[in-house]
Amino acid sequence: MVKKFGQRPFFRFKDELRLEIDRDEWPTDVPLMPSATVNVLGDGPFHNYWLLVFLPDMTVERTAGWWSMPESLDDVLKFYEVEMRKLGWELQKNYRFSERRASLEYCHPETQAKASLSFQRWETLNETTALISRSLKHPYAPPIAEEESVEENVEPALEEVEK
């Protein structure tokens, strides 16, 4: 079920909340090529999103976007290798699967954020697509005050009431 809150559509499912984001809301620590536009599939644009996953011991923040660029796969890879290094990311994995496909995985030593980038060249469309995700884990423990207030509100047992 999609609901509107102001101008921003959001979607809730079990332990997840997905918010759609515009290009200017894209995380500034993961660069985009100036030519990058939102990837378009058969039915229309891919809705880039910011996802919050609520797990018992952590909240996972995950931003995902699917972008299209006219540059070649080699040029796109060069751009990310240079720009990610400038922003302090450390390369963890670097795979060139074929002439048309490549993937990079980064970790940021300061924030412990992870970035995963998958590239695909579409020759007939003369474009390269990049499926990029950035995730960050936030540890979670219920605040003590919250626990105490829950205890205070618990109704007394029947024996206690009878006394």
Nearer to other proteins, 49 or 79 (CB): 49
Is residue 108 at the binding interface for other proteins, with CB under 8 A as the rule? no
Strand partners of residue 129? 68, 120
The two structure tokens encoding residue 58: 């952590």
Q: Does 114 bind other proteins (CB under 8 A)?
A: yes
Q: Which window, 22-30, 56-64, 76-84, 147-155, contacts other proteins (CB under 8 A)?
A: 56-64
Among 60, 78, 149, 162, contact with other proteins (rule: CB under 8 A): 60
Cα dihedral 153, 57, 108, 64 sign: negative
Residue 134: CB minimum distance to other proteins, A: 9
Residues paired with residue 12 on neighbouring β-strands, in sequence order: 17
Q: 19: which strand partners?
A: 10, 50
d(C-alpha 102, C-alpha 125), whole Å: 18
- Rounded-to-integer distance, Cα 43 and Cα 29, Å: 30
Identify the residue whose tokens are 């450390």.
90
The answer to the question of residue 79 lying near other proteins (CB under 8 A) is no
* Contact flag: residue 66 with other proteins (CB under 8 A): yes
User: Closest distance between other proteins and the C-beta of residue 163, in Å?
Assistant: 48
Residue 124 engages other proteins in binding (rule: CB under 8 A): yes
Which residues are registered as beta bridge partners of 5? 8
H runs (alpha helix) in 12-141: 73-86
Q: Contact residues for other proteins (CB under 8 A)?
A: 1-2, 11, 13-14, 16, 18, 41-43, 46-49, 51, 53, 60, 62, 64, 66, 93, 95, 97-98, 100-101, 103, 114, 116, 118, 120, 122, 124-125, 129, 131, 133, 135-137
